[in-house]
Structure formats: C-alpha cells, structure tokens
Amino acid sequence: MIPVRTAFAIILFFSIFIFPTTSHGQTANEAYNRGMHLMAAREYKLAIEAFDQAIERVSYFYEAHYERGRCNQHLNAFEESVQDFTNALEHFPDFTDAYYQRGLSLSAMGKHNKAMEDFSQTIQLQPENPQPYLKRSEIHTRNSNTSLAISDLSKVIELGHKNPNVFFNRGKLYEQKGKYSKALKDFSTAIEMDPIHAEARLERGLILVYKEIYTEATEDFSVAIEQGIETQQIYQLRADAAFNAQLYDTAIEDYTRLINSFRQRNEQTHYQRALSYYYAEEYEASVRDFTRVIGLNRSHEEAYIYRAEAYHRLGRDSQAMVDYRIILRNNPNNAMAYEKRGLMLLETGKPDEALQDLNQAIRLNPSAEAYFSRASIYAFQSNTRQACIDLRQAAEMGHEQAQQMLSLHCP
C-alpha cells in the first residue's frame, strides 16, 4: 500500500502539470518554493501571498496550508493559523507537525484544553518527540494537575532531553507536592547542568533552609544574587541562612542592606543584626543595635539580656547590672536573665551571688548550662555530692563538657 503522505505527493505532482499556471506563470510548486524563501527571509506577509497562490492552484496542497499557518503564527494571527493547520489536517490527517503547531496557536489564544488535545495527538503519532510532552506539561501545571505534569516532564527526561529547565520545572512541582528530597535532587541536577541557574539556586536554597543546611543555602542564595535576583526577599533569606550558619559577616552585611537599601528599619531586623554583631564579637556595634531595638520596644527582654552580655564583654559590668535589674523588675520569672547574670557574677568572682541566681534560673526553667555552672560552684565549695548531681543532670541534657567531667570526677 502507498503511504498517505506519498499518495498526496503524487497527486500534487500531477496537479502541477494538469492545471494551468498562476497569473505570474508559476506552478503551485513554484509558488510554494517562493513562499518558503520569503519565509526564510522573514517576509511573512509576502510569503503568505505566495502560499495563497499555491493553494489557489492546488486547494489540497496541505504543506502550503501548513506553512501559511506558520507565517500567520509569526504575525500573531493565531485564529488564521489555526484555520490553516486545520485545513492541512483535513488533507493529511496524520500530519504530526500540524497538530503540534495548531496546539501552539490554540495555547496562544488561551484555548489550553483544546491545545492539550492537539499535543496529545502529536504524542500518539510521534511518542519519541519530547516537545509535545513539554507543552502538555505546561497546561497540566496551569490546570494544577501536578502529578500529570510531573509524568510528562519525567517522560521528557527519559527521552534524553538535556535542558536544565526541565529538571527545574519538575523540581518546582515536586516542591509543591511536599516531596522535598526529590525536588532537591532535581534542582541539584539543573545546577550541575547550569551552575549559574539563578532560579534553581534560589529554590534549592529554600529547601536547604527547610532542611537546616544553612551554609550551602547561603552559597546558593549568593549565586542567585550574583546572577541578578536582588530582591528584599533573597537578601532576607541569605541574611537568616548566614546567621544560622554562623557566617556573621555575611549576615551583618545583608541585614545592613535590608535596613539601609530596603528601609527595613524594624525591631526584628535590628535585633538580628545586633545578634550577628554580638556573635561576631563586635560588642560596641551590638550595643548600638540592641539599644535601637529597646527604643522600638521597651519590653524586648532578650535585647536587654544580650546588651547586658555585651556590656559585660566590654568590661562595663555596672551597665550590665542595670539592664538585668530592669528585666527582673519587669519580669521576675525571666529564667534566662537569672542564668546570664549568674554566669556573669561567677566570672567576676562572686560565687555566692551567682549561686542564688542559678538556683532561681533552674527553678524557673532549668538548662544544661545552668546545671553545669552551678556544679562548678558546688565543686568550688567542696560539695562533691551536689556537684556530681548537677553534672549528671547537665550531661543528661546534652552538655558535652559535663559528660567528660562526669566520667572523671563522679565515677
């Protein structure tokens, strides 16, 4: 049996010789070839005129209908292109490219479900072509059919498509479904293929933050910023990730940008920068920021505590004591204030006063550090039994130094 496409080609060949030429003395085939040359030169309107002449000469010239449809696509005349592709399919029902191109035009017109039918037909006729799977996945994504979209993108990957955006888009879909390990793998693959893929870096960074892998997240946000994503959100993300990764210089830089460039002069941003300065041992700068926080919120107890700690590190213990008195006057049940003041008193050679504060801290909210510090006071007082009790309690709460001392001093 003669294939359908071959049969049409034979009919077309005979029609060129049986019927008269065009008004310019051209056969249908010559008009078609002229249209193809004009199309290649991006002279789409002139190309359409040439294809018109070919179709006038041979109405079932399906390739001329198809190419005229592509010209209309380039001119954004999508309704006309849909009609052209439909005409081509009437004369050649298995014309795979016509289904695909008609699907593109229907999508451009917002007729996505009709477009999906054409992409599905293209897949049926040409299952090894990744393009219709890609386009159908876009419509599934638009329709919130996430699983179907993932299935189509997985097929594209199975067919060996090497575009990093395929992995990126599938990663986004996995992320929406809460499958973060799969999403992380896809974003990582996209980045392996394109190390400066800004969107993949951003999305992977978000998942790394969720998984509390802060150093790598900071690196991803940095690449995304270098590649042009310079929003308030990404600087906030990098600042917080860097802080949790103990990359305090980066955190300080980003919190400062948020304050100065994005006008984010709020209590939380100043507090985070103050903490970053504090842990970076830039105590004067931390005092300034904690003071700003207190000015914005005089009930911010942690700001008073850390400012008192910073004052102590600067050797200004009298100012630190003022802050602790303010806190404990306003909230006599603040265990953290008792613990921090107790540690400061212990460091400054006042074990009896320190013991009182640590007793209060443990009564209100016991911590491993408070038990460990109180154990050291009991050991200093030669109260070995009570020191061992506190060391054992601290060790059970995960205090590594207490665990080591317990094995040495409390057999």
pLDDT for residue 270 is more than 90: yes
Angle, to 10 degrees, between the axis of helix 112-125 and the axis of helix 96-108?
160
Confidence of residue 185 (pLDDT cuts 50, 70, 90): very high
Residue 160 has pLDDT above 60, yes or no: yes
Q: What is the pLDDT of residue 72?
A: 98
Give me the pLDDT at residue 145, please: 97
DSSP E strand boundaries for 73-149: none
Domains of the chain: 162-241 (1.25.40.10)
Across the chain, what does the average pLDDT equal? 93
Q: What is the pLDDT of residue 4?
A: 38
Inform me whether the pLDDT recorded for 23 exceeds 50.
no
- 180 has a pLDDT exceeding 70: yes
Summarize pLDDT for 55-111 with one digit per residue, the tens: 999 999 999 999 999 999 999 999 999 999 999 999 999 999 999 999 999 999 999
Q: What is the pLDDT of residue 40?
A: 97
Helices 351-364 and 335-347, packing angle to 10 deg: 160
Q: Which pLDDT score, from 0 to 100, does residue 20 have?
A: 38
- Cα→Cα distances 297→144, 277, 341, Å: 44, 19, 22
E-strand ranges in 228-379 read: none
pLDDT above 50: residue 7: no
Torsion 390-395-401-406 (CA) sign? positive
359, 378 in Cβ contact below 8 A?
A: no
Residue 303 has pLDDT above 70, yes or no: yes
The CA–CA distances, whole Å, from 151 to 124, 174, 187, 227, 300 equal 16, 11, 17, 30, 51
pLDDT band of residue 409 (cuts 50, 70, 90) is confident
User: Would you call 370 exposed, middle or buried from its count of C-beta atoms within 10 A (0-12, 13-18, 19+)?
Assistant: buried
The pTM for the full model equals 0.84
Instruction: Considering only residues 384 and 26, tell me which one the structure prediction assigns the higher pLDDT.
Output: 384
- The pLDDT of 309-319, averaged and rounded, is 97
Q: What is the pLDDT of residue 408?
A: 82
What confidence score (pLDDT) does residue 2 get?
37
- Tell me the DSSP string of 42-61: T-HHHHHHHHHHHHHH-TT-
Does 346 score more than 70 pLDDT? yes
In contact, 324 and 340? CB cutoff 8 Å = yes
